[in-house]
Amino acid sequence: MEMGAKEKNQQLYKPYSSGIIAKEPPSSWQQEIQDLRGSASCLRSEPEFEMADIFYFCRRGVESIMDDEVTKCFSAQELESWNLLTRSNYNFRHISLRLTVLWGLGVLIRYGVLLPLRSEQHTGRICNRGSKIYHIWLTLKLKFFLSEKVHLMCYRICVRALTAIITYHNRENKPKNGGICVANHTTPIDVIILANDGCYSMVGQVHGGLMGMIQRAMVRSSPHIWFERSEVKDRHLVAKRLGDHVADKTKQPILIFPEGTCINNTSVMMFKKGSFEIGCTVYPVAIKYDPRFGDAFWNSSKFGMVNYLLRMMSSWAIVCSVWYLPPMNREEGEDAVQFANRVKAAIAAQGGLVDLIWDGGLKRAKVKDAFKEEQQKLYSKVLVGEQDQGDQSDNKLVEDENPKEDKSHQDSTEVQ
């Protein structure tokens, strides 16, 4: 199965976008408005407005009411053909008795065999290793060397417990000390997937209770960065701590998910610029899950953690590919946002994901007025023509604004 999954990688990781409506390929605004007017020349000295221009806005507006990209990102990806998991069952109609029987068999296997095996492995091995780990920790001298071994071992246990089949590509680009590793975020399991292949320092909020205990335990073996709730708001403090960590070359690379929230693995959303301001080497990593074996996306508004883990352990498997991309540095004259976008584009291109400009935080918040202004700016440039100096950046904006979508004109969700 592993070999099969590996060979099929190329096919699998094409950009996947489905929708209920066919959207025109995002042409530049000039193109659209020209088509409306049917005129060849776009050089005008006077702003010229046509009543028909409104059609473009009307259509785009109604299109977004019918189907929009952002909300799609926060629900699980729809599959072309069913993978026999009820949870991936959107819009599939009853087809045949045979399929129902197959599904029933699948349920039996997943819940009756796979799930118990995995949980037993998980708890059994952890208890076993637990005692050994305790002894190892006592030996301070070998602490860091052994902690690495222990760290890897623990994560390998977790990986086995979930039956994750991971293919690592380009391991020569693996993140090194003194850098920051950034990856697209789909699920908390991303951490396990990456940590299975190397040691990273995690960044996060200090929790109480069990999580807090685990966090303190982790810190004893390797340096992680845990923030107090109050410190999280203070950007300078955060930046300073991160900066100090990367400056120390003996410390492991930091693992950060700049999107800030879980996305459903069909696209990459806006990267928050915080980690890109620090000024060290960034190691981008692209993670892509194979949706046929189980949907890895954690929809935190729908499922809690325990429910989610249960679903993970009762899927067929978690098959994913991890690509280590060549390290990137901020270039001269590039600000943090541009750098972040560059890294995001690289990750999206590698993983076959759609590169979006939207902020993942929008799942909870409202669109910033800045975006609206961008739209207005674009339209006014069209009216005024090629006169303005900022034209180079305009074209760039147009490309940035219009997300690149791979058009799949087949019906991807309905099985008639």
Partner 1 sequence: MGSSNSSVNNIPNAQELMQETGFSAAHILRLHERFEFLDKHKCGQLRPQDFGAVQELALNPIGDSIISAFFSPGQETVDFASFVRILAHFRPTDRNQSRDGAQQEPANSSIRKLKFAFQMYDQDRDGKISRAELLQVLRAMLGIQVTEEQLQSIAERAIQEADLDRDDAISFDEFRKSLEKVDIDHKMSIRFLR
Q: Least distance to partner 1 from the beta carbon of 373, Å?
A: 6
Reduced to 3 states (helix: H, G, I; strand: E, B; else coil), residue 350 is helix
Q: Tell me whether residue 67 or residue 244 sits nearer to partner 1 (CB atom).
A: 67
Q: Least distance to partner 1 from the beta carbon of 300, Å?
A: 16
Q: Tell me whether residue 44 or residue 241 sits nearer to partner 1 (CB atom).
A: 44
> Which residues, at least 6 apart from 362, have a Cβ–Cβ distance to it below 8 Å?
70
Q: Least distance to partner 1 from the beta carbon of 385, Å?
A: 13
In the structure encoding, which two tokens stand for residue 253, read together?
Answer: 């690379």
First to last CA, the chain: 29
Burial 365-401 (b: 16+ CB within 10 A, else e): eeeeeeeeebeeebbebbeebeeeeeeeebeebbeee
Q: Tell me whether residue 2 or residue 388 sits nearer to partner 1 (CB atom).
A: 388
Give CA–CA dist 416/406, Å, rounded: 24
Q: Tell me whether residue 332 or residue 369 sits nearer to partner 1 (CB atom).
A: 369
Continuous segment of H or E residues that includes residue 167 = strand 164-169
Reduced to 3 states (helix: H, G, I; strand: E, B; else coil), residue 61 is helix
Q: Tell me whether residue 23 or residue 118 sits nearer to partner 1 (CB atom).
A: 23
Q: Least distance to partner 1 from the beta carbon of 372, Å?
A: 4
Q: Least distance to partner 1 from the beta carbon of 97, Å?
A: 10
Is residue 67 within 8 Å of residue 58, measured between CB atoms? no
What does the radius of gyration of the chain's CA atoms come to, in whole angstroms? Answer: 24
Q: Least distance to partner 1 from the beta carbon of 71, Å?
A: 7
Q: Contact residues for partner 1 (CB under 8 A)?
A: 19-22, 36, 38, 46-71, 82, 86, 89, 91-96, 99-100, 103-104, 358, 362, 366-367, 371-377, 379-381, 383-384, 409, 411-412, 414-415
Q: Tell me whether residue 54 or residue 247 sits nearer to partner 1 (CB atom).
A: 54
Q: What angle do CA 281, 287, 289 make, to 5 degrees?
A: 175
